[in-house]
Amino acid sequence: MTLKLTLPVVLFVTASCGGGRPSASASATAKSAAATPTADATSSAAVLDGTDYTLSGDVTCEHADDGSIYDVPAAMWHATLKADAATVSYVNLTIWQFKQGGPDQFSLGLQAGGVFHHASTIKGATLVGSGTATVERAATTSLHAKGADEKGVAFDVTLRCAKVIAAVEEGGR
């Protein structure tokens, strides 16, 4: 069975949106701009416009090894963090790794302090901002994106997955 996923996987979500699964109790604390993201295997971190945030709460992670985007075979990694009461209240990161090679492409949506930040390097969709993305598979799977959003604000986001579940097919057949 081939899993076919369709895009764009760009979600424009604000902290006031309801529905979905109940949010986990989460908080983000701003650290000094000189600090580096936490290396703890279970923590997630974001640097946004020079300010570091340690993100806590549940990161929901999905993976499909046999997916496709715009009819190009690719593995898909997706991670979401929702923390309504935190400064960084929402992060949505999707990374595509192409079977025929080439750089990974990604879409990132991040809400911090009521301001939404978006970047997408997915060819075939509207390109927004710039950057690179990687997936690290060790004891804990980590999704990482670094670049600049649509307004030129620098970001460096790492979402660490305690568990990765199989992605559910959407769209397609």
**What's the pLDDT score for residue 106?**
97
**What's the pLDDT score for residue 14?**
25
Asked if the model's pLDDT at residue 25 lies above 90, the reply is no
Sheet of 130-137: strands edge to edge? 28-31, 51-55, 44-48, 154-161, 141-148, 130-137
- C-alpha angle with apex 98: 49 to 93, nearest 5 degrees? 30
Specify the DSSP class assigned to residue 15. Answer: T
Asked if the model's pLDDT at residue 128 lies above 70, the reply is yes
Burial label for 51, CB within 10 Å (0-12, 13-18, 19+), is middle
**107, two tokens:** 């879409």
Q: Are strands 72-82 and 28-31 parallel, antiparallel or unpaired?
A: unpaired
CB atoms within 10 A of CB 103: 12
What's the mean per-residue pLDDT of the chain? 77
* Average pLDDT score over residue span 167-172: 70
CB burial string 62-93: b at 16+ within 10 A, e below? bbbeebbbeeeebbbbbbbbbbbebbbbbbbb
* Average pLDDT score over residue span 68-84: 93
